[in-house]
Amino acid sequence: MTTTTAYREQVLHEINTLPEEYLPYLLQLVQTFRESISLKPANESLHQGWHEAQINHVTP
């Protein structure tokens, strides 16, 4: 069994032990997590960086 599979099984076990009424909150948490770790498209990232440079919001 690979590590990824082991983690997946642990996550699924935890989900299966949750009461049904908590599932919408868990879904929202997982979606927010996935969105926070996903890379933005290059053009969006460039646009944000250019905006921050224009307002002098830069860090060394």
Assign 23 a pLDDT band (cuts: 50, 70, 90).
Answer: very high
Q: Each residue of 7-20: pLDDT tens digit?
A: 999 999 999 999 99
Q: Each residue of 26-58: pLDDT tens digit?
A: 999 999 999 888 887 888 888 888 898 999 887
Domain ranges across the chain: 3-54
According to DSSP H, which parts of 1-60 are helical?
Answer: 3-17, 23-37, 42-54
pLDDT at 59 over 80: no
Dihedral (Cα; 37, 40, 42, 44), 10-degree rounding: -150
